[in-house]
Amino acid sequence: MSDGESFFLPEESALLIRDLCLRVRLGVGAEERAKLQRLQISIDVIVRPARAHDNDVTTVVDYGAIVARVRCLAGRETQLLETWVQWIAQACFLDSRVAAASITLIKPDVFPDSVQVGIRQRITRPQ
């Protein structure tokens, strides 16, 4: 810290990634998985213990690295959104400072009379 500046230590920090949109093969039936469909991903990454940043990039979790790892998952195929949650949680937990992740997955194009369907799960780092 430089003279005259003080930083408050947060109890926890949440890094937010909102509405990352990937085209994936996902669904219970083979017909549904036969075509690419949109998957909207939002992640709240909980970092504990949070540290005073002191304008030092090495003290914070890199959201770019998490987004890059999640984008790499797009080539995988699965039946369930719950499987995607597990994959995304693994991508987040590669950074040892991540304590938990709240992951929301939305399939916006499933039903013509519904704006979206999806799930949200909070995953805590295994001990």
Whether 3 has a pLDDT exceeding 60, the answer reads no
Which pair of tokens denotes residue 82?
């719950």
Residue 49, in any domain of the structure: yes
Which tens digit of pLDDT belongs to each residue from 68-97? 999 999 999 999 999 999 999 999 999 999
Residue 1, in any domain of the structure: no
Q: In this structure, what CATH number is given to the domain that contains residue 97?
A: 3.30.1130.10
Whether 7 has a pLDDT exceeding 80, the answer reads no
Q: Using alpha carbons only, give the angle 9, 103, 30 rounded to the nearest 5 degrees.
A: 165
Residue 62, in any domain of the structure: yes
Asked if residue 35 lies in contact with residue 26, where contact means CB atoms within 8 angstroms, the answer is: no
Q: What is the pLDDT of residue 126?
A: 84
Report d(CA 60, CA 52) in Å as an integer. 9
If one compares 112 and 21, the residue with the highest pLDDT of the two is 21
Q: What is the pLDDT of residue 107?
A: 95
Cα 73 → chain centroid: 12
Domain that holds residue 117: 13-124
Residue 101, in any domain of the structure: yes
Q: Tell me phi and psi for residue 103, to 5 degrees.
A: -120, 125
pTM: 0.87
Band of the pLDDT at 1, cuts 50, 70, 90? very low
Residue 4, in any domain of the structure: no
Q: What is the pLDDT of residue 57?
A: 77
Which tens digit of pLDDT belongs to each residue from 23-80? 999 989 888 888 999 999 999 999 976 666 677 777 788 999 999 999 999 999 999 9
Residue 5, in any domain of the structure: no
Residue 46, in any domain of the structure: yes
Q: What is the pLDDT of residue 102?
A: 98
Q: Considering its fold, how many domains does the chain have in total?
A: 1
Residue 64, in any domain of the structure: yes
Which pair of tokens denotes residue 121?
């799960």
In the block, tokens 């949070």 appear at: 50
